Amino acid sequence: METPPALTVGKREFVWGRRTYIMGVLNVTPDSFSGDGLGTDAEAAVAQAHRFVKEGADILDVGGQSTRPGFQEISAEEECERVLPVIERLLGETQVPVSIDSYKAPVVRAALSAGAQMVNDIWGFRHDPEIAALAAEFGVPAVIMHNQRGRELSDVIDDIRSGLKASIALAAEAGVPKERLIVDPGFGFGWAEGHNLEMLRRLSELRALGCPILIGTSRKSTIGAVLGLPVEDRVLGTAATMAIAIANGADIVRVHEVGAMAQVCRMADAVVRGWEPPAPETP
């Protein structure tokens, strides 16, 4: 498989295949499934973002709408009230690219107008194609996720591949080049536990799409089901899934524990991508 071309997000260049990049999750919500929701506390979100940057985050992903199973929909206005103060602060205080995690076009427009440099759409433009038009208008990259909720299952990878191809086509129609797209298979979005595990086993099959792959397994219920552990005790299970995903082709991991997962990425990269010991210091 050819390596996708490098991608600039904000002022940073992402060279695929060199190492695994880390997206830190900032949930400005009171009802995150992972227990890390910060409500409307912008100060807490900014403080967490600064910690993530120190620990090695390459992208900060800001979301104001919970997407857990059975989530309560909020208005675009309320979502903007949650995310915009955080985005504006982060753009002024860090050099790390900021992504808006939303599937609502008014929220995406407001975030991009405020300076956000990436879109992360859990419906891959299929819920609201206007988001693809916004990505084209602002010239920003986009994460397009395959969401299996409400869809019939045929084959895990075939369904994901079909859904992502539809999203790539919507992007092309809107004027977003494929080189600006990152694909996410949607771990935990409409799949049973066994399907999620199969997704990780077969992740490398998605390389044929020709796009970088993002994976988000962090703290999710499949890990809890396998290990019998509550959400706050799923760090090691998350680490295992991340290492396997990297071995099978993941380019970006979306995580809640940036420091711990940065170590996982470095170790997995050393095995998968190669490693050389640092040069000895000159006396």
CA distance 204 to 246: 9
CA distance 31 to 90: 22
Q: Which helix (H) or strand (E) holds 86?
A: helix 76-93
Q: What tokens were used for 215? A: 């994976």
Catalytic position from the list 109, 126, 219, 254: 254
Catalytic position from the list 161, 220, 234, 266: 220
Amino acid in position 181: L
Q: In what order do the strands lie in the sheet with 118-121?
A: 181-184, 142-145, 118-121, 98-101, 59-63, 21-27, 252-255, 214-215
User: Among this protein's residues, is 151 annotated catalytic?
Assistant: no
Q: Where are the beta strands (DSSP E) in the chain?
A: 7-9, 12-14, 21-27, 59-63, 98-101, 118-121, 142-145, 181-184, 214-215, 252-255
User: Among this protein's residues, is 220 annotated catalytic?
Assistant: yes
CA distance 236 to 131: 35
- How many angstroms separate the Cα of 218 from the Cα of each of 25, 165, 197, 210? 10, 25, 13, 24
Q: Where are the alpha helices (DSSP H) in 175-257?
A: 193-201, 221-227, 235-247
Confirm if 252 and 269 have CB atoms less than 8 A apart.
no
Q: What tokens were used for 115? A: 């300076």
CA distance 80 to 197: 35
Active site residues: 220, 254
